[in-house]
Chains A and B, each alone.
Chain A
Amino acid sequence: MDIASLREGLASALGGWLATDANNRLGLTTVVFVIYYASCNAYWIFKARGNSPLRKLRRIAGLDAIDEAIGRCTEMGRPVLYNLGMDGLSSSTFASLAILSYVAIRVVRYDTRMITVTRYASVLPVAENTVRQSYVEGGKPDGFRIEDVRFLTSDQFGFASGILGITVRESVAANLMFGYYYAESLIFAEAGFESGAIQIAGTNNNSQTPFFIPACDYCLLGEELFAASAYLSKDRIRTATLVAQDLGKLFIAVLMGLGVIFTTFGSNVIQNLMTLF
């Protein structure tokens, strides 16, 4: 049986209840990957609940520097500026919120001021809650200032000019930028550089990473943004999800390797598996 007839057979058997995309693909490859990935997560989370050792996380200089940045703000008596990025409640914003939670706890401990800014109003209550929670956990619930968690505007360059103004007027000593950024990323980073702030950035937009690298002191690369919560909290369950993430990447790498080998020898089996189903 060739691949095309196998596909037709599967489509007639599963087509009734499995959704197809615009190209009439069944999305089976994605379903198989989701099952594999969920199984990896379940296995490693189960393992993390016991006492068996998990893999060690390598050092991420940008995340290690967060404490140094907050310490610098404390010494100088100047605020930390925390930028949650340009996205709504997406995975990158949640990754940023996890880092915000860590930073807020440190800020409360050192009695430093932190200004948190968000572009989307829908992120504001979540950000407010994250910072407020850190003040409660730090034993200083009265120290929380609601005006230090700010929604500026949802307009891209209006938001950029707002950040520029805050950076200069408040003369921030640490500029932390984690989340999704667009063309305005360099405006934030250069404003921070000019105000003499220590700058740490991380984005899941690959096209903006090259702007952060020259302008910031530390820059998280690629998925380091998503590894931050596990790295900072040292929580075993979160670390387990990182191990599962690596296994997911291994799956893709093996598939790519097989694709290269098969295609080199004139077979389109892997390519068909990825595109036909």
Chain B
Amino acid sequence: MRRTLPVALTFIVGVTAMINTYFVNPSLAAFCTRYLARTSTVSSAWAVGLGTLNLMRIHIRRINRRQDNWQYSVSLVVTYVIFLFLGVFLVGHQNNHFFQAFFNSIQPHLSSTMFSVLCFYIASAAFRAFRMRSMEATMMLLSAFIIMLGNVPIGAAIFPPMPQISDWIMNQINTSSLRAMSIGLSMGGIAQTMRNLVGIERGHLAAE
């Protein structure tokens, strides 16, 4: 029952949504909008509660046991409690000016910092990728060299057709390869969905 019921529900809901996509039926469309979409929203809200409990359980336990780097857990729990208090008890909740000011002066900056770290990682990964270890790696190095030169003014100054060669590599070779991969990925995605829909994929379900 613990496996059969979720599989049956998945099949019924999945097929209903598919029929609603391809065929016109006002009552079915209303059912999908009113009930299926709402069920999804409600279950996601419950999941956020579960996720928060999981997060708090891990970090409070770490603080209690004074595990390595427990100080970071303290900062997480304190920040969580402050934002929870501001979001729940202030007038206007998450739209409250104080909440917004507090959030906007912390979170976007931390996010931008992490994003900016990427440029250093790209440099170190590119250094490893562009070594002439094999024929394929050499070809990749040459292509990258041409494309980089084709995208900066000095490339055209050194060799005028460089931007055209760069565009040709991007539009002909790169695009066709990516499209082939995209077709394969789409087919794979459909196959995966179908396996879930008919209950072939059951690893994530509990035992009977």
User: What string of 1s and 0s marks CB contacts (under 8 Å) between B92-113 and chain A?
Assistant: 0000000000000001001110
Given A122-B44, A136-B207, A151-B55, the answer on whether A221 and B181 have CB atoms closer than 8 Å is yes
Residues of B within 8 A of A226 (CB): 185, 188-189, 191-192
Q: Which residues of A100-121 are within 8 A (CB) of B?
A: 100-102, 120-121
Number of interface residues, chain B, beta carbon within 8 A: 60
Contact partners of A221 in chain B: CB under 8 A? 181
Interface string of B37-59 (1 = CB under 8 A from A): 00000011001111110110110
Say whether B183 faces chain A, with CB atoms less than 8 Å apart: yes
A158 and B184 within 8 A (CB): no
Flag if A92 contacts B129 (CB, 8 Å): no
- A59 CB within 8 Å of chain B: no
**Residue in chain B with minimal CB distance to A252:** B183
Give A234-271 interface residues, CB cut-off 8 Å to B.
Answer: 237-238, 241-242, 244-245, 248-249, 252
**Selected contact of A121 from candidates B23, B47, B181, B183, CB within 8 Å:** B47
A122-144 interface (Cβ within 8 A of B): 122, 124-127, 129-130, 133, 136-137
Q: How far is the CB of A23 from chain B (nearest CB, A)?
A: 15
Say yes or no: A130-B203 contact (C-beta < 8 A), given A27-B22, A95-B192, A150-B58: yes
A169 and B43 contact, CB distance less than 8 A: no
Contact A187–B114 (Cβ < 8 Å): yes
Taking the closest CB of chain A, its distance from the CB of B5, in whole angstroms, is 14
Nearest CB on A from B172, distance (A): 15
Q: Which of A142-197 contact B (CB under 8 A)?
A: 146-147, 149-152, 155-158, 160-161, 165, 169, 183-184, 186-187, 189-190
Docked-complex contact A215 and B128, CB < 8 angstroms = yes
Within residues 59 to 93 of chain B, which ones have a CB less than 8 A from any CB in chain A? 61, 68-69, 72
Contacts of A242 in B (CB 8 A): 191
- CB-CB under 8 A from B135, the residues of chain A are none
Is there an interface contact between B68 and A206, defined as CB atoms closer than 8 Å?
no
Closest to A118 in B: B51
For residue A223, CB closer than 8 A to chain B, the reply is yes
Residues in chain B near residue A60, CB distance under 8 A? none
The distance in angstroms between the C-alpha atoms of A222 and B187, with both chains bound, is 10
Please give, as numbers and ranges, the residues of chain B lying within 8 Å of A54 by CB-CB distance: none
Complex interface: chain B residues within 8 A of A252 (CB): 183, 187
Give the chain B neighbours of A120 by CB distance below 8 A: 47, 51
Provide the bound-state CA to CA distance between A17 and B194, in Å. Answer: 24
Say yes or no for A30: interface residue by CB 8 A criterion.
Answer: yes
The winner among B47, B51, B55, B205 for most chain A CB atoms within 10 A is B51
Interface size on A, residues (CB 8 A): 76
Say yes or no: A92-B181 contact (C-beta < 8 A), given A121-B47, A150-B55, A157-B110. no
Cβ distance B112 to chain A, nearest Cβ, rounded Å: 8
State A129–B207 Cα separation when bound (angstroms): 10
Roughly how many angstroms separate A41 CA and B204 CA in the complex, as a whole number?
22
Cβ contacts A32-52/B at 8 Å (1 or 0 each)? 001001100100010000000
Mask for A202-218, Cβ within 8 A of B = 1, else 0?
00101001010111000
Sampled A-B contacts (27; CB under 8 Å): A17-B23, A19-B21, A34-B22, A92-B192, A97-B203, A121-B51, A122-B47, A124-B54, A129-B204, A130-B204, A133-B205, A133-B207, A137-B207, A147-B61, A157-B112, A161-B110, A184-B118, A187-B121, A204-B185, A215-B125, A223-B185, A241-B195, A241-B200, A245-B188, A249-B183, A249-B184, A252-B187
**Which B residues form the contact surface with A (CB < 8 A)?**
21-25, 43-44, 47-52, 54-55, 57-58, 61, 68-69, 72, 107, 110-112, 114-115, 117-118, 121-122, 124-126, 128-129, 178, 180-185, 187-196, 200-201, 203-207
- 10 cross-chain pairs, A with B, having the tightest CB-CB distances, nearest first: A121-B51, A226-B188, A214-B129, A223-B188, A101-B203, A157-B114, A151-B51, A122-B47, A223-B184, A91-B192
